[in-house]
Amino acid sequence: MFLDVDGQLPGSRLTGAGQRTAHISWQSHYPLNVVELIMNGDIIHQWNYPDGTHTGEIRYDMLPETDGWVAIRCNGVARDSFDHAVYAHTSPVWFDMGRPPEQRQ
Total-model pTM: 0.88
Task: List, as one string, the DSSP characters of 53-102.
Answer: EEEEEEEEEE---SSEEEEEEEEEEEE-TTSPEEEEEPPPEEEE-SSPPP
Q: Is the pLDDT of residue 11 over 70?
A: yes
| pLDDT, tens digit (0-9, with 9 covering 90-100), for 86-102 | 999 999 999 998 887 77
Q: Which residue ranges make up each domain of the chain?
A: 2-96
Q: What are phi and psi of 103, to 5 degrees?
A: -70, 140
CA distances from 58 to 16, 35, 63, 67, 81 (A): 24, 10, 16, 24, 28
| pLDDT, tens digit (0-9, with 9 covering 90-100), for 52-80 | 999 999 999 999 989 999 999 999 998 88
To the question of domain 2-96 being in CATH 2.60.40.10, the answer is yes
pLDDT score recorded for residue 105? 58
Q: Is the pLDDT of residue 17 over 90?
A: no
| pLDDT, tens digit (0-9, with 9 covering 90-100), for 32-48 | 999 999 999 999 999 99
